[in-house]
A = this chain, B = another copy of it.
Amino acid sequence: MYLVNGSPSTTFDVADRGLHYGDGLFETIEIDRRQAVFLAQHFRRLQTGCQRLRLPVPDLHLLADEIASLCQAAPEHGQAVIKIIITRGVGGRGYRQPEPIQSSRILSLHPFPDYPDSFQEQGIAARFCQTRLGVSPALAGIKHLNRLEQVLARAEWSDTATQEGLLLNVDGHVIEGTMSNLFYVKDGVVYTALLTRSGVAGVVRGLVMELCRQQPLKLVEHDYTPAALLAADEVFLSNAIIGLWPVRQIDGHVFQVGVLTRHLQSQLRHLKALDREVGHAL
């Protein structure tokens, strides 16, 4: 189910710059019992992304209303996914942006993926992809629509025994999964990749970092190699739909689900419950 600029539609203007140049960004939001989870955080990232891409920030009250309207079609007692795409709208041929920019917004409601509980509990199996993420400081961190590298990486495997592919960038640093951010724990310290040259700064990645600061747990953002990852005590993935998944295996190398992963999973669930209670102050 799609809402295109506020109206139900299955089609979209063929002159939109989202199609022609990937000129825009997106958010993927968990819907739990017809309510958006961590909406304020998603909106904050959307704003930051728009500013970096010089896109007008959409009216967030309007967006929240449209999300609420889509939520009415979501399961009353279960979960769903809402995706928001914001593009630079319709423009002529050529990279030069139209003036003024009339951005487009496309909201869609999707079923929640049927991941088994074991992914949360016993963890998942990951592999290193051959595809390398590019290095582009101008775009690093933004959840933009230029996602060909992720598409190529995700096409590297089709077996259902592997749940996620891990990506190095062209510098040789481990950055993230195709659809998730990656953390590891070593000697009680939590590590994750610096996203100044590659990668997407996920909303749940931000929450995990915030949780680490509150505990306090020592958290380090840095450039690291596959060797550092494979020497870790614990490894886990994050995104807005999966929450935290422990990684129990990377290319046959086995990890235990550790206490810090369990602790952060439980803290994240707590945050989510709190988020539901207090609602979303825009």
Contact = CB atoms under 8 A, between A and B. Distances in A.
A124 to B, nearest CB: 15
Nearest to A144: B148
Given A93-B81, A95-B153, A97-B155, A134 B145 contact: no
B14 A4 contact: yes
Given A138-B131, A145-B20, A146-B22, A151 B13 contact: no
A100 interface: no
A137 interface: yes
Interface of A: 2, 4, 9-23, 26, 28, 53-54, 81, 83, 85, 87-88, 92-97, 106, 108, 110, 113, 131-139, 144-155, 170, 178-179, 197
Given A22-B146, A85-B20, A152 B93 contact: no
A21 B136 contact: no
A102 to B, nearest CB: 15
Residue among A10, A14, A21, A145 having the largest count of chain B Cβ atoms under 10 Å: A14
A53 B85 contact: no
A28 B23 CA distance: 18
